[in-house]
Structure 1
Amino acid sequence: GSVGGGTGMIAFGFKAGSGTASRIVEWHGRRYTVGAFVQANFGKRSNFTIRGLRAGPDLVEPAIRESTPHAEKGSIIGVVATDAPLLPHQMKRLARRAPLGVAMTGGFGYHSSGDIFLAFSTANREAALAPSGRIASADFIPDTDIDPFFDAVIECVEEAILNALVANDDMTGRDGNFVPALPKAWLKGKFGASQGK
């Protein structure tokens, strides 16, 4: 939500900020976690999409009020973490899937976007500490089996962005600037019944 660097963030004209989400990926009897952290500060209201529904046209109000002129800019920072044993080139491939999660929410990476994504694995610690003069080895999941991890990254990034929006309340700043929270009543009415909530 609106903590630390997330305090000034706005996404799709709603108060945004920091969000997280995770998935479990099962691979040959083992379970690995894929998690994502985002700082969401991007997107046009008209493009906003929730779980495949183009929600922007339904959410013209409440409107953002900006009394202080500023250049139109947006950005998102996303960090993907996993305990799955993957090699550096595989981690780059995971990081490259993060923008697909952004696109699922209606973020299209416009001209002024400054987007940063990175990914890391906590596996193979012993390989990094291997003593000099010996052959070191590292475990890794074959490239041909990596697709479920791509799915997890895309789903995590999408959900982390939505969680950043849901976790927030209206914010009023100096000079009468006002950023509304994503309307919870609308969200519950649109999605709550289908989820039994």
Structure 2
Amino acid sequence: MAFARDFDIQIGKRPTGPTNSMADIDGLSFGHVTLSDGAIQTGVTVVHPAPDSVFENKCVAACHVINGFGKSIGLMQLEELGQLESPIVLTNTLSVGTASTALVKHMLAGHPSIGETTGTVNPVVMECNDGAYLNDIRGLHVSQDHVQQALDQHAPQLVQGAVGAGTGMSCYGLKGGIGSASRLVDVGPRGFTLAATTLCNMGRLPDLMVNGRPVGAEIMTLQEEEAQAAELGSIIILLATDAPLTARQLKRICKRATAGLARTGTQFGSGSGDVVLGFSTAGRLPHDAPALPVLTMEMLHEDHLDDLFSATIEAVEEAILNALFASKTTKGKHDRVRKSLADWWMKLK
């Protein structure tokens, strides 16, 4: 598996974490179920925001909808309360309902109080449409068992490329998938990490930029194919940090992901669902109010948010490129093929 830096592509100047991925945030873990067999090119990806119950101790969270052509579940309550209380599940568009039911069952199994002595749970499921080119999305191949298998995994490392929810995705007319990157930020005597994970299914090939280079246009001259008329894909951007932030501050950071996405060339087309969800692992919020219901929490001073803004832009841009380089060339329904950017790269030298 190759990444952007394996091709001497370095985005920005900030240092990365040890794995240059969301796995650099302590306490996070991940799961994938990949369904790849002929016309079936789809799957499920799970991000566990904490090693313990995120329902009992919620993460501060926010979201930003860049373009709302999407079918995600759970964002309305997350936006209202500024809290994330379930793992995050990524899958294809028509499997959102299946994934939501499986996630609810998973939460009920682990929390007997839900719906009895306390309220319900807000499941977060996010999607992109892998059926436009590679996957038989009408077949509804993702089952609740597949989602549960992904939820049962707690891998400390995040596998990237054409895996899990990214199996059948297309990006800039090439093979899309899961990508991630991280950045380290020093604020006074303390250091923090911010990381991005992207589910990439957006963009037109002629628009693709790699670190300022018009790579998409170069590929177009080599393959002499007609350009895609409109941008009809989507991207889900997840941001995680261990910096202490309020939901309002996280929303400001989520908005900056737009700049990292734009640097790769996308136009946020009318038919594209582009959504950002950010959460912090610092300052967890207890589900049950303490006897004295006044919480004391840390928050970063506003004057130092610029460091996290630039870290976000760099991490999102590199995460998208990592998805393109790490995703292998894939044949799907109707024998359609999406080539990996890594397969094109040497031809562009």
TM over 0.5: yes
Contact 2:231 2:269 survives alignment (8 Å) = no
| Pair 138,160 (structure 1): closer, same or farther in 2 beyond 3 Å | same
Task: Report the counterpart of residue 90 of structure 1 in structure 2.
Answer: 249
Amino acid at match of 2:250: M
The answer as to 2:34 corresponding to 1:34 is no
Task: Report the counterpart of residue 260 of structure 2 in structure 1.
Answer: 101
1:140 aligned residue (299, 316, 320):
299
- Displacement over 2 Å in runs of 4+: 61-65, 125-130, 183-190
Amino acid at match of 2:262: A
Bigger mean CA deviation after superposition, 168-177 or 54-63: 54-63
Task: Report the counterpart of residue 154 of structure 1 in structure 2.
Answer: 313
When normalised by structure 1's length, the TM-score is 0.86
Contact 1:130 1:136 survives alignment (8 Å) = no
The answer as to 2:206 corresponding to 1:46 is yes
Separation (CA, whole Å) in 2 of partners of 1:189 and 1:76: 26
Deviations 1:103-161 (A, max 9, x none): 01001201111111110001012777762325321111111210010001111110000
The equivalences for 1:5-84 within 5 A come to 5-60=165-220, 61-62=222-223, 73-84=232-243
Percent identity of the aligned residues? 40
The structure with higher relative contact order (CA 8 Å, sep 6+) is: 1
User: Secondary structure of the residue that 1:76 maps to in structure 2?
Assistant: strand
Unaligned runs of 5+ in 2: 1-160
How many residues are paired up? Answer: 185
| Pair 64,123 (structure 1): closer, same or farther in 2 beyond 3 Å | farther
Task: Report the counterpart of residue 340 of structure 2 in structure 1.
Answer: 181
Task: Report the counterpart of residue 193 of structure 1 in structure 2.
Answer: none
Contact 1:34 1:83 survives alignment (8 Å) = yes
Separation (CA, whole Å) in 1 of partners of 2:264 and 2:253: 18
Separation (CA, whole Å) in 2 of partners of 1:72 and 1:51: 21
| Pair 63,141 (structure 1): closer, same or farther in 2 beyond 3 Å | farther
User: Secondary structure of the residue that 2:195 maps to in structure 1?
Assistant: strand
Separation (CA, whole Å) in 2 of partners of 1:132 and 1:22: 39
User: Secondary structure of the residue that 1:49 maps to in structure 2?
Assistant: coil
| Pair 83,64 (structure 1): closer, same or farther in 2 beyond 3 Å | farther
Unaligned runs of 5+ in 1: 66-70, 191-197
Quote the RMSD (CA, aligned, Å): 2.3
When normalised by structure 2's length, the TM-score is 0.50
Deviations 1:155-190 (A, max 9, x none): 111000000001022111232211111144635965
Bigger mean CA deviation after superposition, 133-142 or 4-13: 133-142
Separation (CA, whole Å) in 2 of partners of 1:35 and 1:98: 11
Contact 1:9 1:15 survives alignment (8 Å) = yes
| Pair 37,63 (structure 1): closer, same or farther in 2 beyond 3 Å | farther
User: Secondary structure of the residue that 2:322 maps to in structure 1?
Assistant: helix
